[in-house]
Structure 1
Amino acid sequence: MAENVSLKSFVITMKASRALEEVTKKDIKKHGMRTSDFAILEVLYHKGRQTIRDISESVLISTGSITYVIDKLEKKELLARVNCSDDRRVVYLEITDKGKEIMDDIFPKHQQVIEELFQGISEKDKQTVIDVLKTVGHRAAEKE
């Protein structure tokens, strides 16, 4: 029986994804944060002011759960809600100075962990991984 390369690619991708997720979860936890907290702060840290909806789509957290996480981060003064002057229904989130200070400390260390995972892999191969996974991801999204 011939090996099904598509199926094998799928299984390897899923196993690699789980392994990467575990490593990053452990790293984030080491810094005293939950993955959902870090994900939201990371979006605000890199992209600036965002709506709750934009963040929810970026970090793949449901809008019901994200409100709870945002409330906790706001109480810790790591982010702030800002009302939109043009549309009262829209609320933006911004990282606070305190949140930025924490991310200035944590993010470079987190990035180093990720760099180590990809150590020894050529830039060309990394780009191939990006291109292939984007293609597969787009095809999967079309099937939803």
Structure 2
Amino acid sequence: MERSHQHQQLRKEEHDTLSKLKQMPVESLNLEAISIATNLYRSAQRLRVKMETEVLSTYNLSWTAFSILYDLWVWGALETRKIAELSGISTATASNVIKTLEKKSFCRKSIDTRDRRLVFVSITDSGKQAIEELYPEFHKGETELIAGMTKDEQKILTGLLRKVADNLHTT
């Protein structure tokens, strides 16, 4: 019941927002683009808050710290710039988050012996233990995200989100 009320409230907010924007002096306003961007943003923010509150708080990790730890777990040692790219953050932000993960003993840095400008980061045993404890709960949140969608709807949404990501990709 509460979920339905929240859903109706969001639709009303979306309708009210679009109505307000129609009054703005903007030529060729694409209301669908606004609606899609707004819904993507709200969904992403809700997912992030849910995961940080319900799952990642166990280890006092931010979404970004978890993302980096996850990438190290999946891919092994990575260069700092690659970590930043995978996480969609600047190298400066990646470096700061890596420092935090290092303080927790979840990762370690090493300098490339051939090119001392390159810094590689690898997950530690403590980091593996943390991610392996967190990931099952994190994955529950991922599955809750798609609850009520058919497999076909999930595939369609995945394809559409990939198109959105491709549109945002900068080189």
- Please, what TM-score do these two structures have when normalized by structure 1? 0.83
Q: CA deviation at 1:44?
A: 0.7
Which one of the candidate residues 107, 128, 134 is aligned to 1:79?
107
Q: Which has the higher contact order (CA 8 A, sep 6+)?
A: 1
- Aligned pairs (5 A) from 1:103-118: 103-118=131-146
Correspondence for 2:48: 24
1:28 is aligned with what amino acid?
A: E
1:66 aligns with 2:90: no
- Shifted more, 95-104 versus 133-142: the winner is 133-142
Larger Rg: 2
- Shifted more, 122-131 versus 18-27: the winner is 18-27
1:11 aligns with 2:35: yes
Q: CA deviation at 1:37?
A: 1.3
Question: What percent of counterpart residues are identical?
Answer: 26
Moved over 4 A (4+): none
- Shifted more, 86-95 versus 51-60: the winner is 86-95
Q: CA deviation at 1:102?
A: 0.5
User: Deviation string for 1:70-125 (max 9, x for gaps)?
Assistant: 11211211100122233222111001000110000111101111101102212221
User: Deviation string for 1:9-34 (max 9, x for gaps)?
Assistant: 55134324422332333322432211
Confirm or deny: 8 A CA contact 1:78 1:98 kept in the other structure. Answer: yes
Name structure 1 gaps, 5 residues minimum.
none
Q: 1:78 to 1:134 in 2, by over 3 A?
A: same
Name structure 2 gaps, 5 residues minimum.
1-27
Correspondence for 1:37: 65
Count of residues in correspondence between the two structures: 139
Q: For the residues of structure 1 that align with 2:75 and 2:32, how far apart are their CA atoms?
A: 36
Q: For the residues of structure 2 that align with 1:140 and 1:103, how far apart are their CA atoms?
A: 29
Query: Alignment RMSD, CA only?
Result: 2.2
Q: 1:140 to 1:10 in 2, by over 3 A?
A: farther
Confirm or deny: 8 A CA contact 1:79 1:99 kept in the other structure. Answer: yes
Q: CA deviation at 1:53?
A: 0.2
Q: For the residues of structure 2 that align with 1:21 and 1:7, how far apart are their CA atoms?
A: 21
